[in-house]
Amino acid sequence: MTNAVPGAPATTTPVHLIPVFEAKPGLERELVRLLSELQNASRRDDGCLEYSVFNDAEAPGTFLLYEKWTSSTALDMHNEQQHVKDFLVAAQHVLAWNLRVHRLNPLS
Over 90: is that where the pLDDT of 5 sits? Answer: no
pLDDT band at 72 (very low <50, low <70, confident <90, very high): very high
Task: Report pLDDT for 8.
Answer: 45
Tell me the mean pLDDT in the region 4-28.
Answer: 81
pLDDT of 61 higher than 50: yes
pTM for the full predicted model: 0.85
Q: Which domain holds residue 86?
A: 15-100
Residue 2 has pLDDT above 70, yes or no: no
Q: Is residue 9 part of a domain?
A: no
Phi, psi of 14 (to 5 degrees): -60, 145
Which residues are CB-neighbours of 2 under 8 A, at least 6 positions away? 15, 72, 75, 76
Any idea what the CATH number is for the domain that residue 27 is in? Answer: 3.30.70.100
Q: Please count the structural domains in the chain.
A: 1
11 pLDDT tier (thresholds 50, 70, 90): low
The mean pLDDT of 91-95, rounded to a whole number, is 96
Would you say residue 92 lies in a domain? Answer: yes
Q: Is there a domain that residue 10 lies in?
A: no
